[in-house]
């Protein structure tokens, strides 16, 4: 595979196929191996921020597959951190929605994206319990089961169904609850699915109108962000910043700005 600028762009479809294949394989392994009640292995930022043995097994499988086909690429994974360097980097969340995975709530996903020079060009989100694999290649649209996705458009804020999520630390949640107190009376309703990757795909599929959250990491939104954008949504941060863990916002143009203007004065990027 050529590593020149053009070669890489030409390869986006190949990367798209690879992200999908590997996300499917990790999903199959997780479904086959998930016990009735998975055990917590360790906790991270708080006692409720958990890692299971299968988070690690999933990331290991994904890393092995990447190394087999693309041994020189860099990888950033939720569990294994950053390895390697170079223009091409894989962004991996082996299980997004770990708490749902733990409890058997059928809303968790394997998320894999590929970026070139910092720009995501391909991604797949496998919402495993639902058997739904969302895919996108930059400039090639967002897809689910052979159907091209487009997000809902023309929905005003007061009719919008908005997904959101909460962090694991109580100081962050205090602010998130305060922000939500202002958002809830202004929208149709709120959904909290428990997987940021899946939430972004829900925007792409028109199952919600928009999504915002303080705190998701790049591995949570790398693939889902491209899928939502390729379905016509705007994905970004506050005040023109690109999507970032400070605040991630996603909705069709129009609703994006309304949601942005509602959130900005609430100072949603702070923690208590
Ligand atoms: C979490 C999920 C959740 C979101 C959190 C994320 P994890 O990822 O995406 O929906 O609200 O911000 O940390 O911990 O399950 O991989």
Tell me: the pLDDT tens digits for 198-232? 999 999 999 999 999 999 999 999 999 999 999 99
**Active-site residue 227, yes or no?**
no
What pLDDT is attached to residue 10?
57
Per-residue pLDDT band for 44 (boundaries 50, 70, 90) equals: confident
Q: How much distance in Å is there from the Cα of 271 to the middle of ligand 1?
A: 17
Q: What is the mean pLDDT of residues 62-85?
A: 97
40-43 and 50-52 beta bridge pairing: antiparallel
Does 93 contact ligand 1 (Cβ within 6 A)?
yes
**Active-site residue 98, yes or no?**
yes
| Nearest residue to 27 via CA among 75, 97, 122, 116 | 97
Model confidence over 110-151: pLDDT tens digits? 999 999 999 999 999 999 999 999 999 999 999 999 999 999
Does 196 contact ligand 1 (Cβ within 6 A)?
yes
Q: What is the mean pLDDT of residues 250-255?
A: 98
What pLDDT is attached to residue 45?
83
Per-residue pLDDT band for 19 (boundaries 50, 70, 90) equals: very high
**Active-site residue 78, yes or no?**
yes
Residue nearest to atom 2 of ligand 1 (CA): 195
Q: Does 169 have pLDDT greater than 50?
A: yes
Q: Does 48 have pLDDT greater than 60?
A: yes
Contacts 24+ apart (CB under 8 A), 112-117: 112/19, 112/22, 112/23, 112/62, 112/223, 113/19, 113/222, 113/223, 113/226, 114/15, 114/18, 114/19, 114/88, 114/89, 114/90, 115/88, 115/89, 115/91, 115/222, 116/8, 116/9, 116/87, 116/88, 117/87
What pLDDT is attached to residue 145?
98
Three-class DSSP category at 88: strand
Does 165 contact ligand 1 (Cβ within 6 A)?
yes
What pLDDT is attached to residue 2?
44
Choosing from 19, 52, 98, 135, the catalytic residue is 98
Q: How much distance in Å is there from the Cα of 138 to the middle of ligand 1?
A: 24
User: What is the residue whose two structure tokens read 């998701």?
Assistant: 216
Model confidence over 80-97: pLDDT tens digits? 999 999 999 999 999 999
Choosing from 20, 55, 59, 93, the catalytic residue is 93
Mean of the per-residue pLDDT values of the chain: 94
């Amino acid at each position: 595979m050529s590593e020149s600028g053009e070669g890489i762009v030409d390869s986006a479809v190949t990367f798209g196929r690879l992200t999908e294949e590997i996300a499917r394989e990790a999903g199959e392994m997780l479904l086959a191996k998930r016990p009735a009640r998975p055990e917590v292995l360790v906790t991270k930022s708080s006692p409720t921020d958990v890692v299971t043995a299968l988070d690690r097994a999933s990331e290991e499988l994904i890393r092995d597959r990447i190394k087999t086909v693309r041994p020189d690429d860099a990888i950033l994974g939720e569990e294994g951190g950053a390895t390697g360097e170079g223009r091409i980097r894989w962004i991996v969340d082996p299980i997004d929605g770990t708490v749902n995975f733990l409890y058997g709530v059928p809303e968790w996903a394997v998320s894999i994206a590929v970026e070139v020079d910092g720009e995501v060009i391909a991604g797949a989100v496998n919402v495993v319990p639902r058997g739904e694999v969302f895919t996108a290649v930059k400039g090639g649209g967002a897809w689910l089961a052979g159907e091209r996705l487009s997000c809902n458009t023309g929905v005003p804020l007061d009719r919008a169904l908005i997904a959101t999520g909460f962090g694991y630390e109580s100081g962050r949640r205090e602010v998130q609850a305060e922000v939500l107190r202002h958002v809830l009376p202004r929208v149709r309703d709120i959904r909290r699915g428990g997987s940021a990757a899946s939430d972004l795909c829900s925007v792409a599929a028109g199952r919600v109108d928009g999504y915002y959250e303080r705190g998701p990491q790049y591995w949570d939104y790398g693939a889902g962000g491209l899928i939502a954008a390729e379905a016509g949504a705007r994905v970004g941060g506050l005040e023109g910043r690109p999507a970032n863990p400070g605040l991630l916002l996603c909705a069709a143009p129009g609703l994006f700005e309304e949601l942005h203007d509602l959130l900005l004065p609430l100072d949603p990027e702070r923690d208590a």
